[in-house]
Amino acid sequence: MLGMVTVAPVRLRLAGRTELAMMLHVSRSRAVQLSNQRGFPEPLDVLTMGQVWALDDLITWADANGRTLDLQALRAPHLEADADSKP
């Protein structure tokens, strides 16, 4: 009998153009322009809401292009409040 292999789940952090705009502190239309430029990471998929990228790919792109992503901009205040109220 073959041994079972256990694979730990991987939590993939995703971002769309709205999140990109939030992290760069630019308009959504500017985020669209940036995401259409040569050298921008390929999206993982295209959903009804638009393209979706791995956040790590966006961070790598930003670092390589002298940009800073404000990851704190992704924190939803209502989620933080809920987390603070849990025992």
pLDDT tens track for 12-57: 899 999 999 999 999 999 999 999 999 999 999 999 999 999 999 9
Residue 50 falls inside a structural domain: yes
- Number of structural domains the chain divides into: 1
Per the rule left: phi > 0, alpha: psi between -120 and 50, beta: everything else, 35 is alpha
pLDDT in the model for residue 78: 53
Average pLDDT over residues 52-64: 97
Residue 27 falls inside a structural domain: yes
Average pLDDT over residues 71-81: 72
Residue 52 falls inside a structural domain: yes
Cα end-to-end span (Å), the chain: 45
Confidence of residue 9 (pLDDT cuts 50, 70, 90): confident
Residue 86 falls inside a structural domain: no
Residue 20 falls inside a structural domain: yes
Residue 7 falls inside a structural domain: no
Whether the Cβ atoms of residue 20 and residue 32 lie closer than 8 Å to each other: no
Confidence of residue 4 (pLDDT cuts 50, 70, 90): confident
Rounded-to-integer distance, Cα 67 and Cα 65, Å: 6
Structure tokens at 84: 């603070």
Residue 9 falls inside a structural domain: no
Range of the domain at 34: 14-79
